[in-house]
A and B are shown apart, each in its own frame.
Chain A
Amino acid sequence: MTTRELTYVKAFNEGLHQVMAADPDVFLIGEDVAGYGGVFHMFDGLLTEFGPKRVKDTPIAEQAIIGLGVGAAARGLRPVCDLMFMDFVGVAMDQIFNQAAKMKYMFGGGVSVPLTITTAGGGGMSAAAQHSQSLEAWLAHIPGLKVAMPASAYDAKGLIVGAIRDDNPTIVVMNKKMLGMKGPVPEELYAIPMGQANVVREGSDVTIVAIARMVVEATKAAATLEAEGISVEIIDPRTVQPLDTDTIVTSVKKTNRAVIVHEAVEFGGIGAEISSQIQEAAFDYLDAPVARVAAPFSPSPYSPILENAYMPDAARIAARVRAVVGRG
């Protein structure tokens, strides 16, 4: 495979181009996805390449956007429905969790819903309480849904392709602060299946399970800690539903310590579930309680000073790791 550097958003965009070229049943709808290419350039060039039948601007109507996707998916198409900001899932939530997620089960298995929902989550841009959230735990709690959170350019392409090819309703949460981040991306079309964690970095003293952009912060923390003689292994679950518990548990059995990092608020976050899974599967291997680094239990604040205090970063992760390995 030929590989070159692409930005996170360009990699996502290339994946969408390629999967749409390969499968005429894939179409894209959402607010300003066609003429404008999406507010984050996620959909640049798609209208030009695939035309107005397959790339459509919608009214501002999130319930109808997702509901249309559910109905079209139940008829065998592969809709990609964009919700722009992750905070907007609340507007469409009935269609996501009562309809898309449950249709197969409550109708006795007779219908599949190969729907992909794209959206952008995460903070760090002074976008305040309604444009900064990380709501993955909310979605991962619903049987029937899958939730992907790419943390690299490579994964942004592979996970959007994997989501579209998956026969279940899947939400792909792009991270707003990573859009311009570059990484190696193969030119060819490839898919990352749901439920396969990525061992981002190998280490022996502690396992950091990092979600979305926190992989970047954890990687910075790991470099600092390495200089201090602490060897960090980083696991990126890539999808929080399904969760690749095996890879996480295998790592913790090796390192005997775990720190979980996410942007979402700590209480009831996906870190609580991961912590519980670790303790159920590897309690006897643990040399310290499983720790979490996450946002405090408040809405996301606007002020850069407040938001910096709100969001986990490399320094806070490193401090927690030092405490967990007994060097705090």
Chain B
Amino acid sequence: MTQTTALGVQYGPREGYADDVTRELVLELHRGMVRIRLFEEHAGKLVESGDMPGFLHLYVGEEAVATGVMSVLTDADQMTSTHRGHGHAIAKGAQFRPMFAELYGKTTGYCKGRGGSMHIGDTNKGMLGANAIVGGGIPIAVGAAFASQYRGDGTVAASFFGDGATNIGAFHEAVNMAAVWDLPILFICENNGYAEFTAQGNHMKLEDIAERAASYGIPGVVVDGMDVLAVRAVAVAAVERAKAGHGPTLIEAKTYRYFDHQGIKGMRIPYRDAAEVEAWRERDAIKLLEVIGTERDLVSAKEFADIWSQTEAEILEAIEFARNSPEPDPADILDDVYTV
């Protein structure tokens, strides 16, 4: 249902956005979200057990946002991610083996063990990396969009960030510049309600972050971030607008992370109540798509179950690959500081 507020924020995609959904699309989106879900759950357990180093910001619960947006992008379209970046990487086409290898700090990892969880990504698939500075990737995505416009190559850029990042100056500077130059870019705010451990109501006056779009003179759209088809529909419209030369769109996807800001164990202090978490889990994006797929007789329950089990097997194999991969050599520590 489309509504518009006084500040021009549009709620949800156009009417009938899910009417023409195909079996192939449901399968693709479902597999995409399951790949993220299972990767994250395994990675979380491996860190908690001490088998893997570093710390993890898990994307579980937010899968529909990355999957929905990335389903309309190509490898040539560029993307910047966040500290919570595994989901974006997987949705953009990153493979399990080099991802797990990177988390294990191995030479076969996407970053050769130099980046780890917070910088993961495949630069050959249009990823300008995960970024551990909140808001740091947003101006970089604007640069990628500038390159698209400069070359006239028809590509677009997408920048993912959280609700907390919209309070940092880099966000304001970047969105304003993209707006004034009509750059082909999608700004996707994954509003999970918390900047780390601080609830949205304690870090901004606004309820809908999409309203910030009005101050840059660009469209702002609020979408249900647990509905992958709705996310995809608003991304389609934003890409069309970008490619037509009309500039950026700010998309706010209302979503939720099931785990803590970092790690898988749960909350150190109860900044959210269990009922809130449970209420969001009831609206789980993967479950929702499975209901749509089976109710419309597009995909059977057995086919959905097969996707889960096939993905699980692929992940277990990738973990073994990562564990058995060579460790980096300290003699190479200065490699790739500079391009020579």
Contacts and interface: CB of A to CB of B under 8 A. Distances in A.
Contacts of B139: 63-64, 66-68, 70-71, 95
B146 A71 contact: yes
A27 B150 contact: yes
Contact of B338 (A67, A107, A110, A168): A168
A229 interface: no
Contacts of B13: none
B109 A108 contact: yes
Given A70-B139, A75-B143, A144-B337, A58 B119 contact: no
B147 A75 contact: yes
Interface in B138-154: 138-147, 150
Contacts of A227: none
Nearest to A58: B177
Interface string A24-63: 0001000000000000000000000000010010110111
B128 A64 contact: no
Contact of A94 (B109, B122, B170): B170
A74 interface: yes
A61 B136 contact: no
Contact of B112 (A27, A56, A108): A108
B180 interface: yes
Interface string B126-139: 00110101001011
Contacts of A121: none
A105 B141 contact: no
Given A58-B177, A64-B177, A110 B124 contact: yes
A98 interface: yes
Given A68-B142, A71-B140, A111-B128, A63 B109 contact: no
B163 to A, nearest CB: 19
Contacts of A99: 131, 133, 136, 140
A74 B119 contact: no
A117 to B, nearest CB: 13
A106 interface: yes
Contacts of B78: 71, 75
A106 to B, nearest CB: 4
A103 B119 CA distance: 9
Contact of A71 (B133, B144, B337): B144
A98 B335 contact: no
Nearest to B119: A106
Nearest to B80: A71
Contact of A104 (B121, B174, B338): B338
Nearest to A111: B123
Contact of A74 (B136, B143, B180, B335): B143
Interface in A96-138: 98-99, 103-112, 114
B176 interface: yes
A48 B226 CA distance: 51
A76 to B, nearest CB: 7
A249 interface: no
Interface in B144-199: 144-147, 150, 157, 169-170, 173-174, 176-177, 180-181
A286 interface: no
Contacts of B138: 67
A61 B129 CA distance: 23
Nearest to B179: A59
Contacts of A76: 147
A109 B336 contact: yes
Contacts of A108: 109-115, 336
A74 B144 contact: yes
A112 B340 CA distance: 10
B339 interface: yes
Contacts of B140: 67-68, 70-71, 74, 95, 99
Nearest to A242: B338
Contact of A69 (B143, B176, B336): B143
B136 A105 contact: no
Contact of B129 (A75, A95, A103): A103
Given A63-B169, A98-B136, A105 B336 contact: yes
A61 B177 CA distance: 8
A72 interface: yes
B146 A68 contact: yes
A144 B338 contact: yes
B88 to A, nearest CB: 14
Nearest to A146: B338
A108 B157 CA distance: 22
A143 interface: yes
Contacts of A68: 139-140, 142-143, 146, 174, 177
Contacts of B109: 108
A30 to B, nearest CB: 12
Nearest to B155: A75
Interface in B80-116: 80, 109-115
Contacts of B124: 110
Q: Which of A62, A99, A103 counts the most chain B CB atoms within 10 A?
A: A99
Given A108-B109, A168-B338, A63 B173 contact: yes
Nearest to A73: B143
13 contacts: A70-B140, A72-B150, A74-B140, A75-B147, A98-B133, A104-B337, A106-B129, A107-B121, A108-B110, A110-B110, A111-B129, A112-B339, A167-B339
Given A98-B136, A108-B111, 18 more contacts: A56-B181, A59-B173, A59-B177, A63-B170, A63-B173, A64-B176, A67-B139, A71-B80, A71-B147, A72-B146, A73-B143, A74-B143, A75-B147, A77-B150, A106-B115, A107-B129, A109-B335, A114-B339
Listed from nearest, the 4 A-B pairs whose CB atoms lie closest are: A67-B139, A71-B143, A108-B111, A109-B336
